[in-house]
């Protein structure tokens, strides 16, 4: 007889991706583990929100919620940025988190493709600075006058 642990049952119901409906914002890739004895179940989830000043703000909020019943443990495996253009149905994943390092953008992209099957979802490992028309900044590296990357 095959039985599923409480933690594994709970993980099945965690959305694999949850991001803001549009805009440019920070995201984190979080690995959620079972804390139950003999259960090595884990799942990677993507969370990205414009309200976050730092990648850690997202991780702290999400991990606190998921860990509150003691069944699950969270680990941030990296971060970056997402540019979500809902009108054109495009999502681009790029950049890195200074605190958590670069997330595996290929993993993130696959999670987003599942959530947004009718979108064009792309990624690259270029740095975190967006220059040009999106920011009004002409610099090609992070600079003191630009607040795009923290």
- For the question of residue 33 being annotated catalytic, the response is no
Residue 37 has φ and ψ, to the nearest 5°, of -55, 130
Q: Which of 41, 35, 40 is nearest to 13 (CA)?
A: 41
Catalytic residue, chosen from 55, 84, 105, 129, is: 55
- Check if the beta carbon of residue 22 is closer than 8 Å to that of residue 50: no
Partner residues linked to 123 by β-bridges: 93
Residue 56 has φ and ψ, to the nearest 5°, of -60, -30
Chain center to CA of 10: 20
Pairing of strands 120-123, 90-94: parallel
Q: Which residues in 100-120 are b (16+ Cβ under 10 Å) and which e? A: bebbebebbbbbbeebbeebe
Active site residue ranges: 55
């Amino acid at each position: 007889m095959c039985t599923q642990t409480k933690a594994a049952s709970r993980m099945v119901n965690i959305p694999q991706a949850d991001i803001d409906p549009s805009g440019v914002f920070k995201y984190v890739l979080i690995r959620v583990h079972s804390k139950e004895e003999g259960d090595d179940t884990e799942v990677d989830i993507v969370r990205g929100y414009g309200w976050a000043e730092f990648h850690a703000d997202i991780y702290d909020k999400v991990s606190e919620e998921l860990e509150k019943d003691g069944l699950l443990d969270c680990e941030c495996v990296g971060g970056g940025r997402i540019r979500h253009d809902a009108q054109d149905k495009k999502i681009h994943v790029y950049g890195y988190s200074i605190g958590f390092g670069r997330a595996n953008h290929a993993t993130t992209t696959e999670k987003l493709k599942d959530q947004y099957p009718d979108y064009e979802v792309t990624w690259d490992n270029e740095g975190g600075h967006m220059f040009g028309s999106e920011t009004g900044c002409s610099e090609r590296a992070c600079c003191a006058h630009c607040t795009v990357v923290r």
